[in-house]
Structure 1
Amino acid sequence: MAKWTPFPHAGDYDWDTTRLKKQWARLHRGDCEPLPQDAAVLAAWVLFHNGEFQKAAEAGLKAGGAGITVANKATAIYANYLEPREKAKLELFMQVAERAEAQQLDDPDNANACYWQAYALGRYSQGISVAKALAQGLGGKVKAALERAIALEPKHADAHIALGTFHAEVIDKVGALIGGMTYGAKKDTGLKLFQAAVKLNPSSAIALIEHANGMVMLEGDKRMKEATKLYEQAAACEPLDAMERLDVDMAKEELEDE
């Protein structure tokens, strides 16, 4: 495995297994991942929350079982925020999608196996262009996996965000008519999914960011003022771990660019 770009705020987070267990519910409000019973898997999550994404991925793969989820999350978050090379980023997303699909065969009721397959395919689709991804049939896979994740875990805020983004991006790229008829994308459904995500995880910067982006994609510039407010809320969130810090940093950068 090539050396990954380090987390830019290395040393700012110092989670250990005891503290992580106490804060688990808050840190995993977005993905509803159950607290692991396996010490090796929990240790991999400690690495993840501290921003040691490569070590977390390696430890998760080594642990196997529920460790595959931490490996997938660490890889996907790293690829999304920190991998500078587009080709390497796309390869990492495909690795996650393939691992998560295989994980579903072993554990068909694992909501996060469905979610990480969809997340990785969704980000891969954005990388190659949503229109191209739809032509390759990836849209249907993303939608089905996210709907399955929500059916398995109705409080999965992150899956609500991702499914809302699916509806918004499809309509943004191909229009409401074709988006609805061909891909089952609907404006009202997308907006409701974003609202549900923020309700399920109100302290989530990424839920606020994606809600803002989706609202503008679905309803245009008339919602820019509201979208900016959501970005301001996201930038003001207090990050508890490395991933949340990356979300908040992104919101701050967006506001600076306006």
Structure 2
Amino acid sequence: MQIFSHMRRLGAALGLCWAMLAIPGHAYSNDELYDDLDDAPLEALQHEDIPVDQRIFHSRWHRAPFAPQQFDYTPQQMARHWDELMVGIRAPFPTPELLQTLIERYPELVSDTPAFTGDYQAFSNALIHVWRLFLRGDFQQAREQGLQLGLFGFYPAMFAQTLYAIYLSDRQSEKYMMLQDVANRARDHLPLLERAQDDPDAAEFVAFARLGYAYAIARIAEESPVPVIVFRRYIGKIKDGADDVLAAVPEHPLGHTFLAAVDAGIMRRVGRAAGRLTYGARTAVVEQSFQRAFALAPQIPILNYEYANAVVYLGRRQDLPKAHEYFNRATAVTPRWSMDALDVLYARQRQQEIQLMEDAYPSFRSFERQRRRFTRVTDHNLTNVLTPVLTLEQLQHPERYRLD
């Protein structure tokens, strides 16, 4: 039965690719179709989940490219400034009172957690320390210590892993495995999140948890070939995730950003017409959702660079000054913690990529084709802020830059 299920999804993936060529006004070319099919090796269309090699967690991770002391807050400072620091992701501060309320209602939160002894203050202190590690950019330590603290520690641990995967891992393959590991682990907890979905005391925790799951899937999907996106049902998982975040916390800045970026990303990959007909992606949703996010938290760097990306994906060359305006807004933000710092660094890198596209390519799609081909040939993670910005020479001769 599993073989037939894979066959049906494979047929749907390939059928969509061919069907997109017949949609009037759709810009998906024959060359792009063959590139996407070439990007999708058979093994990628046999497994819904990316196989994860656990050895990637045993080596020493790269250090973040800033001094940890820059974002090192005492527990008292964290409590005082928490709402400002978490304005985007809206994670709840792990006070003893909140922990006791949620653990008494949902004891699964600390099942198989020897670190929890019934002392809520001590457990709160341990969790605050994990968040402190995460805030200052000690991602591997945050992961290792967070995984010892049940689901309350799991989510800052997995967000730390997600940020490391996106912004600091060298290889695209390693990035994908780390993100898949986050999704795999988070998926196991979805039944608990369903139970807590309508609990107002758990709302921020549920939204943060769902955001982590959907964000990991989205960062895999945004650079995957269209057949893989369809076969692995990424779009439905991501859109459902964005809806679930906003169902828990309707005024969630990154929830609205995510909802907008999902539709923009769909149209980036398959065009406006196919995106609207196959997935209901609409430019109006993109604009409205981004405006909701800007009204809630205009200074988040990721919001500004995602909007800039959406302008690039959906606009014309004459719209690029607007994209640069929002990249500039992202890079002008003074970071207050590790996620903001990495988002600012990536916004600067992404803006330089878009400038390369303007200078050397007739269209965004032609640039994207070569960018994806470069990643396929070299296994470079192009969102890694530790590496130099992509160059035209690299795009034209990817075989010279293969990672060993």
TM-score band, normalised by shorter chain: over 0.9
1:240 is matched with 336
The DSSP-based 3-state class of the residue aligned with 1:32 is: coil
Q: Distance in 1 between matches of 2:219 and 2:227?
A: 13
Distance in 1 (CA, whole Å) between partners of 2:318 and 2:253 is: 26
Secondary structure of the 1:192 match is: helix
Q: Which residue of 2 aligns with 1:228?
A: 324
Counterparts of 1:90 and 1:178, CA distance in 2: 26
151, 154, 157: which one aligns with 2:250: 154
TM superposition shift of 1:255: 4.2
Asked if 1:68 corresponds to 2:150, the answer is: no
CA distance in 1, matches of 2:278, 2:190: 26
TM-score (norm 2): 0.61
Q: Could you tell me how far 1:84 is from its partner in structure 2? A: 0.8
Letter in 1 for 2:247: A
Q: Quick check: 1:17 aligned with 2:103?
A: no
Offset at residue 130 of structure 1 (A): 4.8
Q: Distance in 2 between matches of 1:190 and 1:132?
A: 24
- Aligned mates of 2:227, 2:62 — CA distance in 1: 30
> CA, structure 1 residues 122+254, in 2 after alignment: closer, same or farther (shift >3 Å)?
closer
8 Å CA contact 2:304, 2:326 repeated in 1:
yes
How many angstroms apart in 1 are the aligned matches of 2:302 and 2:207? Answer: 19
Q: Is the 8 A contact 1:94 1:120 kept in 2?
A: yes
Q: Residue type matched to 1:188 in 2?
A: A
Counterparts of 1:43 and 1:130 in 2: how far apart (Å)? Answer: 41
Deviations 1:29-71 (A, max 9, x none): 1111111122222111000000001111112111112212101
Deviation at 1:106, TM superposition (A): 2.2
What residue number does 1:116 align with?
212
Q: Which residue does 1:214 correspond to in 2?
A: 310
> Aligned partners of 2:191 and 2:127: how far apart in 1?
20
Whether the 8 Å CA contact 1:157–1:198 is kept in 2: the answer is yes
C-alpha displacement of 1:175? 2.3
Give the counterpart of 1:5 among 62, 67, 82: 62
- Per mean C-alpha deviation after superposition, the further-off stretch among 207-216 and 35-44 is 35-44
How many angstroms apart in 2 are the aligned matches of 1:46 and 1:103? 24
- For 2:270 and 2:245, the matched residues in 1 are separated by 25
Equivalent residue for 2:170?
Answer: 84
Aligned 8 A contact 1:176 1:185 in 2: yes
Rounded to whole Å, the distance in 1 between the matches of 2:225 and 2:75 is 40
Does 2:129 align with 1:33? Answer: no
Q: Aligned pair in 2 of structure 1 residues 124, 229: CA closer, same or farther (>3 Å)?
A: same
1:180–1:186 CA contact under 8 A, matched in 2: yes
Instruction: State how 1:56-205 maps to structure 2 within 5 Å.
Output: 56-108=142-194, 109=197, 110-130=206-226, 132-205=228-301
Please say which structure displays the higher CA radius of gyration. Answer: 2
Dislocated runs of 4+, deviation >6 Å: none
CA RMSD after TM alignment: 1.6
| Alpha-carbon contact 1:45-1:56 (below 8 Å) kept | yes
Contact 2:222 2:265 in 1 (8 A): no
Residues 294, 303 of structure 2: 8 Å contact kept? yes
- Structure with larger RCO (C-alpha < 8 A, sep 6+): 2
Q: Which residue of 1 aligns with 2:133?
A: 47
Letter in 1 for 2:250: P
Question: Is this contact kept in 2: 1:101–1:113, CA < 8 A?
Answer: no
In the superposition, relative to structure 1, how do residues 256 and 172 fare at CA in structure 2: closer, same or farther (>3 Å)? Answer: closer
1:129 Cα deviation after fit: 3.0
| TM-score, scaled to structure 1 | 0.94
Q: CA deviation at 1:128?
A: 2.6
What do the CA deviations read for 1:118-173 (whole angstroms, capped 9, x no partner)?
11011111243355313431111110111111111112211222221110111122
Distance 1:107 1:135, change over 3 A: closer
- Distance, in Å, in 1 between the alignment partners of 2:148 and 2:303 is 31
1:91 deviates by 0.7
- Specify every segment of 5 or more residues in structure 1 that has no aligned partner in the other structure, as ranges: none
Residue 211 of structure 1, CA deviation: 0.6
Give 1:252 shift. 2.6
Equivalent pair of 1:191/1:214 in contact (CA under 8 Å):
no
Comparing 46-55 and 97-106, the one that deviates more: 97-106
Q: Aligned partners of 1:14 and 1:223: how far apart in 2?
A: 39
In 1, Cα distance between the equivalents of 2:209 and 2:337? 22
Q: How many residues align?
A: 258
Find the residue that maps to 2:250 and give its secondary structure: coil
One-letter identity of the residue aligned with 1:194: F
